[in-house]
Amino acid sequence: MRTNLSLPNGASLYGTYISPTGGNVFYVAASGGSNGNDGLSPLRAFSTLAQGITAATANNGDVIVMLPGAHSYAASVAASKAGITITGFPGNFMRPRASVVTTADDEVINVTAADVEIAWLRVIPVTTKAGIDYTTAADRLHVHDCSFDLVTAAVSTSTKGVATTGATQAPSHILISHNYFESDGAQGSGVEVGDAINFVVEHNVFVVRAGGTWNHAATMTGVLGLGEFRD
């Protein structure tokens, strides 16, 4: 059954979200929210993802739901709480309902904690930066059902979808699955796994617009243990 909730800014939200892990659910609005809210309802949504992460408790199964619309931030967001999930509403993984971008010369989301899950978002990197990057602390990072729009950025081989920060001490058990990566020039890699201990990159779609090319769709360097790319 579809539920239509009217938001204060005149936008609409279709559906509801229940945490599958029993944690708190915090909502972030693309517009019309306030970081003075408690974030516990779409009608009391935060205005930034960073505030959602601040409100979350590490390793509590907390979920941060990005409400439909275009989320734009002046700085990179650090996913710094272990065990959190950042998600849009499930739908078409090629065109998720919520998009996120930064106006800073930086990655959109920087994962600096273990057991972080990111799903159902359209991530738009800026030129020469990654959409999502991760540090040595990001053990068991899972990125799935996201769309990465590398087309919006100017052509650069340093513009990437999901990428390592190049830390010399490796995170472990990285899983990048069921994502959609789109390029129209020599952008890429779509996925870059470096200095990782065991990882799987599987069931992703890499698309090039007419006349374009990928620098590399996916690359790996310095992998210890099992490293596997799957169709």
- pLDDT grade for 185, boundaries at 50, 70 and 90: confident
pLDDT in tens, 46-102: 999 999 999 999 999 999 999 999 999 999 999 999 999 999 999 888 889 999 999
Q: How far does Cα 105 stand from its chain's mean position?
A: 17
| pLDDT number for residue 226 | 55
Rg, C-alpha atoms of the chain: 17
pLDDT of 188 reads 83
Tell whether the model's pLDDT for residue 162 goes beyond 80: yes
Per DSSP bridges, beta strands 172-177 and 197-202 are parallel
- Angle of CA points 84, 123, 11, to nearest 5°: 85
Give the contacts of 55 (CB within 8 A, at least 6 positions apart): 24, 26, 38, 39, 46
